[in-house]
Amino acid sequence: MKLISSPASPFARKAKVLLLETEQEDVQVEEIISSPTEPHPELKAANPLSKIPALKRADGCTLYDSRVVTRFLDARSGGGLYPDNRIWEVLTLEATGDAIMDAGVLMVYENRCRPEDLQFGGWLDAQWEKIEGALDALNTRWMSHLAGPVDMGQIAVGCALGYLDFRHDSRGWRKGRDALDDWFAVFSQRESFKATKPG
């Protein structure tokens, strides 16, 4: 089994953190470099959307979309990162983390993939407003869940905040969000999280 990944992808990082948390050492991680305008040939062959991550299985179709990949890997290992007793909270929190990542990645693509004369500052501001709304919700409504046993929702939020530090640090996501900042300071010390930090 092979996980097609990329060192900078927060979506792939979710899957890599899960692999470490559940000790699935038999899954090979292949790091590639790909972009929306020049997708890597192996990724294009594995996932018709050319998005990372993709999980190539020997005994079934290739899985893609990070939430499908992580749900499969958790079920495979019996890791319990999608606990039945709070499944809807976990899935909503994971969707919130994924939405932050999605908006953050789109901001990077706007600057990196569009010619400078076609870049739209209003688009960047709109994406950041989405991120800020999600961060405010996490800081005010989700702290009790974030403080509970580790699950996939927490991993998604951790990867999202790590991506903001990596690509959008100058925007200062921590300002006015002390509770979320304190939580992330602790969560980011997990060995699985340190081992997957983008360079």
Class in CATH terms, 84-195: mainly alpha
Quick one: what percent of the chain has pLDDT higher than 70? 100
Q: What is the pLDDT of residue 199?
A: 76
Interval 122-155: pLDDT, tens: 889 999 999 999 999 999 999 999 999 999 999 9
d(CA 172, CA 149): 28
Q: CATH for 2-77, among 3.30.9.10, 1.10.287.130, 3.20.20.70, 3.40.30.10? A: 3.40.30.10
Interval 30-39: pLDDT, tens: 999 988 888 8
Quick one: what percent of the chain has pLDDT higher than 90? 84
E strand intervals along the chain: 2-5, 28-31, 54-56, 63-64
DSSP string, 152-174: HHHHHHHHHHHHHHHHHGGG-TT
Residue 44 near residue 55, CB atoms below 8 Å? no
Q: What tokens were used for 154?
A: 């927490």
Number of Cβ atoms within 10 Å of the Cβ of 6: 20
Q: What tokens were used for 120?
A: 């739209």
| Conformational region of residue 98, where left means phi above 0, alpha means psi within -120 to 50, and beta covers everything else | alpha
Q: What tokens were used for 17?
A: 């953190």
**pLDDT-based confidence at residue 115 (cuts at 50, 70, 90):** confident
Give the DSSP letter of residue 180.
Answer: H
Q: What residue segments make up the domains of the chain, in order of their start?
A: 2-77, 84-195
* pTM attached to this predicted model: 0.95
Q: What is the pLDDT of residue 117?
A: 77
